[in-house]
Structure 1
């Protein structure tokens, strides 16, 4: 059996194989519906990956409070209407997943990168309150490139965000999600606190690596305490800021080890996003080395992501121990049946939806 199609068990969650869907923001909530509520677009988008053979789907970032949304069109999981809409989607995935597909939600707060225009709006930067935007917060009064300056968070606000993550996790369980991922990457709030390039606080929430990691670990504890013991907890991190003086790989190894001690079952390893002056030289598999180091040195299962587009690339990453699973993103947008194609190309028989059985390839795909 190809390594990519070996099963994996995380706590009581059994995944049919190691080919997964990476979180991808759709910026498609509203404008007609209630803020943060996923709709038919999300059902179609995520459902297509389920019928396409993915073993695990992670949703786009779902904000834990209204101010945590990346844009006015981003999803949330901070009220019951949003939870009910997500439940419709988890039910579809569970009923129609070709590979007994599981689905998890990514919980997030965008911090100083919140209240921005969505990519296809034709505009860039922070959305003013007159156009549906809001004031943002961060660890310090330091703005991201071209965005509005955030307010430095008070201790009360920090504890409020921790509680918001926990409340969103409870809603995630009630909405039928199989797992929860905490978004600690890409320059959003938890990563902002972690990065010395952004967090200039001198109180207990900054000053040292221990202080800068405190919010990330507190959120992990809060979420782990409210989800079932049998449910795995995932954490997405940026392994490096790609900038001098920022988070580096060894710091991420230490963070991952602490996260595992607190009950994180898999670290979803990405990189970058903290600052605009990052120096990234992307290429196929350019992040797999980060995943391998964290997996080996922190002793925690990892997922890898980033310009892995072919079945052979994904197979190599798993077979050589660079990761326990591969998250597919842009390649999945181009081909929502990526996993059915990959199984065929690697000589593995993966169940097809019965409605598509007549199209099952025999000699080529």
Structure 2
């Protein structure tokens, strides 16, 4: 069997393959409540052969939403709306996961569907954002710096959201510490100028993330916990691979089971050269130096490409995003490409369309 299609087990959870769906914001919720769009959107990937389907960045508090249309898990009503979506993913053979998030200074922004950019004003339904330091992301409103009580409240919110995620039936909980959102803002010296126990040294800048991992780990029980990192800010003086290796090892010691490696998003002046698999070398180095399982993401668009990454030991799993949007049956297609058409089972309703392999 191919490396990509070999099952993987983390703690109690077994994934039927290593081709997974990365979190993708849909900006389609009302009051943080997922709806029929989210149900169909996520369940189709399970039917399409994914081993894991991770729901979008889901805010732990209302003011942690990227846009007013983001999903949430700060109420029991939101939990109850997620439950049938989770059941639909599981019924189709995939593991359901969710990404728990707080957008920090990048919250309260316009949906990309609105045709507008920048921060949403209070008059239009926006809110004042918070961050480690009162430094605005370019083009956005300035945030307020969090005090100690505010930081404690965010840790409590992650804990409560993690409990609700488990109650809804999610099997994987991912902590979002990437793409310039709140936990990444604390990690990077470009956005964290604090002089207290949450700023300055790497240990201090990582303190909030480690507290969040601790409470999510406690809520998760024997379910896997992932942490998504931006391995580099792609900007001088910012967060980089060395820091990701160090903090990646720390979160593993605190109970994280897999590091989901992406990059960028913290500052507007980042300089990135993209291309097929452009973030895979970051994942490979972090895997090699930490010994912790990693997921790779970024312009991975075919079964053979994904197979080569896993077979070479550069990542333990592939988290694709846009390719699943282009083809919700990417998993079935990849299995056929790799000559393993039975490794990602076709729904019996679709069996008549399954390509036949000669020989």
State the TM-score, normalized to the length of structure 2: 0.98
Match of 2:37? 41
> After superposition, where does 1:106-145 map in structure 2 within 5 Å?
106-145=99-138
User: 1:358 and 2:352 equivalent?
Assistant: yes
User: 1:252 and 2:248 equivalent?
Assistant: no
Match of 1:207? 200
Match of 2:24? 24
Could you tell me how far 1:357 is from its partner in structure 2? Answer: 1.2
Could you tell me how far 1:363 is from its partner in structure 2? Answer: 4.7
User: 1:283 and 2:279 equivalent?
Assistant: no
Could you tell me how far 1:223 is from its partner in structure 2? Answer: 1.0
Could you tell me how far 1:106 is from its partner in structure 2? Answer: 0.2
Match of 1:220? 213
User: 1:343 and 2:335 equivalent?
Assistant: yes
Secondary structure at the aligned position of 2:272 is classed as coil
Match of 1:325? 317
Secondary structure at the aligned position of 1:121 is classed as coil
Could you tell me how far 1:165 is from its partner in structure 2? Answer: 0.3
> After superposition, where does 1:127-206 map in structure 2 within 5 Å?
127-206=120-199
Could you tell me how far 1:93 is from its partner in structure 2? Answer: 1.1
Q: Choose which of 259, 265, 269 in structure 2 pairs with 1:273.
A: 265
Could you tell me how far 1:225 is from its partner in structure 2? Answer: 1.6
Q: Choose which of 237, 260, 279 in structure 1 pairs with 2:229.
A: 237
CA distance in 2, matches of 1:94, 1:215: 32
Q: Structure 1: which 5+ residue stretches go unaligned?
A: none
Could you tell me how far 1:283 is from its partner in structure 2? Answer: 0.6
CA distance in 1, matches of 2:248, 2:290: 6
For residues 26-52 of structure 1, the C-alpha deviation after alignment (integer angstroms, 9 at most, x for no partner) is: 00013xxxx000000000100110110
Secondary structure at the aligned position of 1:202 is classed as coil
Match of 2:7? 7
Secondary structure at the aligned position of 2:113 is classed as helix
CA distance in 2, matches of 1:145, 1:218: 28
How many residue pairs get aligned? The number is 356
User: 1:303 and 2:275 equivalent?
Assistant: no
- Does the Cα contact within 8 Å between 2:60 and 2:74 map onto a contact in 1? yes
CA distance in 1, matches of 2:345, 2:132: 47
Could you tell me how far 1:299 is from its partner in structure 2? Answer: 1.1
Match of 1:334? 326
Could you tell me how far 1:270 is from its partner in structure 2? Answer: 0.3
Q: Structure 2: which 5+ residue stretches go unaligned?
A: none
Flag as ranges the 4+ runs of structure 1 deviating above 3 A: none
Secondary structure at the aligned position of 2:155 is classed as helix
Match of 1:77? 73
State the TM-score, normalized to the length of structure 1: 0.96
The CA RMSD measured in Å over matched residues stands at 0.8
CA distance in 2, matches of 1:347, 1:275: 43
For residues 109-149 of structure 1, the C-alpha deviation after alignment (integer angstroms, 9 at most, x for no partner) is: 00000000011110000000111101100000100010000
CA distance in 2, matches of 1:87, 1:154: 34
Could you tell me how far 1:12 is from its partner in structure 2? Answer: 0.6
Q: Choose which of 307, 320, 331 in structure 2 pairs with 1:315.
A: 307
